[in-house]
Amino acid sequence: MEKHLRITIDGRQYDVTVEDLSEGAGQLYPSPGSMNIVPPAPPLAHQPPAATSHAAPGAGDVTSTLGGVVDSVLVSVGQAVNQGDRLVIIEAMKMKTPMIAHRAGTVTVIAVKAGEAVDAGQLLISLA
């Protein structure tokens, strides 16, 4: 099958004739049995998401302000912290964001560990 085309190269126009030499090039539809069709995989069974700790935060609870991955936990259980101290670093979209203590207290619970994925609003640390 021949086609007449006009192409432009570096501002100059050329009229060309192109002949398609591939097998079946003139056919609009493929011939029966010429295509290898793989049947679709069956849909995966719906899995409910894993339960995470999203209980209503208490006065001493520090929750994640964004979803991401825990880069590091900077405190330990029993440690006294002051308001404004960095407690946990969350990495999201290659940016590290510190989660800070909103009041002074003693760390009673560390609910996450480094490398763990967290959602926005998830409990990170509890302070007494």
The model's pTM: 0.55
| Angle ∠(92,111,97) on CA atoms, nearest 5 | 25
Report residue 84 as tokens. Answer: 């404004």
pLDDT recorded at residue 47: 60
pLDDT of the chain, 128 residues: tens digit per residue: 678 888 888 889 989 888 776 665 566 666 666 666 667 777 766 665 555 444 456 778 999 999 999 999 999 999 999 999 999 999 999 999 999 999 999 999 999 999 999 999 999 999 99
Report residue 27 as tokens. Answer: 């056919």
Report residue 45 as tokens. Answer: 């069974």
Phi (first) and psi of residue 84, to 5 degrees: 95, -10
pLDDT recorded at residue 104: 93
Whether the Cβ atoms of residue 62 and residue 87 lie closer than 8 Å to each other: yes
pLDDT recorded at residue 111: 94
Whether the Cβ atoms of residue 87 and residue 100 lie closer than 8 Å to each other: yes
Return the domain boundaries, the chain: 61-127
pLDDT recorded at residue 40: 73
pLDDT recorded at residue 10: 87
CATH 2.60.120.650 fits 61-127, yes or no: no
pLDDT recorded at residue 53: 47
The closest alpha carbon to 123, from 70, 45, 84, belongs to: 70
The closest alpha carbon to 86, from 101, 107, 102, 68, belongs to: 101
Answer positive or negative: Cα dihedral of 111, 113, 118, 121: positive
